[in-house]
A and B are shown apart, each in its own frame.
Chain A
Amino acid sequence: MKQRQVGLPGWIFVPAALGAALVLLPLVGMASRVEWGSFVELVTSDSALTALWLSLKTSLVATLLCLLLGVPMALVLARTSFRGQGVVRSLVLLPLVLPPVVGGIALLYTFGRRGLLGEELDALGLQVAFSTSAVVLAQTFVSLPFLVVSLEGSLRSAGARYEEVAASLGARPTTVFRRVTLPLVLPGLVSGAVLSFARALGEFGATITFAGSLEGTTRTLPLFIYNLRVVDPDAAVAMSLVLVAVAVLVIAFARPGRSTW
Chain B
Amino acid sequence: MSLELDAQVAQRDVDVALEAADGETVAVLGPNGAGKSTLLAVAAGLLRPDTGRVVLDGVELTGPGVWVAPHARRIALLAQDPLLFPHLSSLENVAFGPRSRGVRRRPAREQARSWLEEVGVADLADRPPGELSGGQAQRVAVARALAADPRLLLLDEPMAALDVAVRPALRQSLRRVLADRTVVLVTHDVLDALLLADRVVVVDAGRVVEAGPTTDVLTRPRSAFTARIAGLNMVRGAWRDGAVVAPDGHVVRGLTADPAPADGDTVVAVFRPNAVSVFREPPGGSPRNTIDATVTDLEPFGDQVRVRAATASGHSLAADVTSLATAELDLVPGAPVVFSIKATEVSIYRT
Bound together: yes
A residues adjacent to B (C-beta < 8 A): 161-162, 164-173, 175-176, 179-180, 183-184, 186
A166 touches B96 (CB 8 A): yes
B188 within 8 A of A: no
The CA of A162 and the CA of B96, in the complex, are separated in Å by 12
Across the interface, B97 reaches (CB within 8 A) one of A164, A169, A183, namely A169
Q: Which residues of B contact A (CB under 8 A)?
A: 44, 46, 69-77, 79, 81, 83, 85-87, 96-97, 100-101, 144-145, 148, 150, 154
CB distance from A94 to the nearest CB of B (A): 34
Whether the pair A164, B85 counts as a contact (CB closer than 8 A) is no
- Of all chain B residues, the one with the shortest Cβ separation from A182 is B87
Q: A170 is contacted by which of B83, B87, B97 (Cβ under 8 Å)? A: B97
Q: CA A201 – CA B219 in complex, angstroms?
A: 73
CB within 8 A of A171: which of B87, B96, B154?
B96
Neighbouring B residues of A172 by C-beta, 8 Å: 71, 100
**Residue of A170, A172, A176 most packed against chain B (CB within 10 A):** A170
In the complex, 15 of the A-B residue pairs with CB atoms within 8 angstroms, ordered by the A residue number, are A162-B83, A164-B44, A165-B77, A166-B85, A166-B96, A167-B71, A168-B73, A168-B76, A169-B76, A169-B96, A169-B97, A170-B74, A180-B85, A184-B86, A184-B87
Given the complex of chains A and B, what is the CA–CA distance between A95 and B339 in angstroms? 73
Which residues of the other chain, A, contact B96 by a CB distance below 8 angstroms? Answer: 166, 169, 171, 179
Find the B residue at minimum CB distance from A186: B87
**Chain A proximity of B163: nearest CB distance (Å):** 22
Contacts of B73 in A (CB 8 A): 168
Of A166, A172, A180, A183, most buried by chain B (CB within 10 Å of CB) is A166
B144 touching A169, Cβ below 8 Å:
yes
Say whether B79 contacts A175, CB under 8 Å: no
Chain B residues with Cβ below 8 Å from A180 are 85
How many angstroms from the CA of A169 to the CA of B87 in the assembled complex?
17
Q: Which residues of B contact A173 (CB under 8 A)?
A: 69, 71
Q: Taking the nearest CB of chain A, how far is it from the CB of B102, in angstroms?
A: 9
Cβ-closest chain B residue relative to A180: B85
Is the pair B87, A183 in contact by a Cβ cutoff of 8 Å? yes
Contact B46 A169 (CB under 8 A): no
Q: Nearest-CB distance from B5 to chain A (Å)?
A: 16
Cα distance A172–B144 in the bound complex, in angstroms: 17
Q: Which 6 A-B pairs have the closest CB atoms?
A: A171-B100, A167-B70, A168-B77, A169-B97, A183-B87, A169-B148
CA distance in complex: A168, B68 (Å): 12
Give the most central of A165, A176, A180: most B CB within 10 Å: A165
Q: B76, A175: Cβ atoms under 8 Å?
A: no
Given contacts A167-B70, A167-B71, A169-B76, contact A175 B85 (CB under 8 A): no
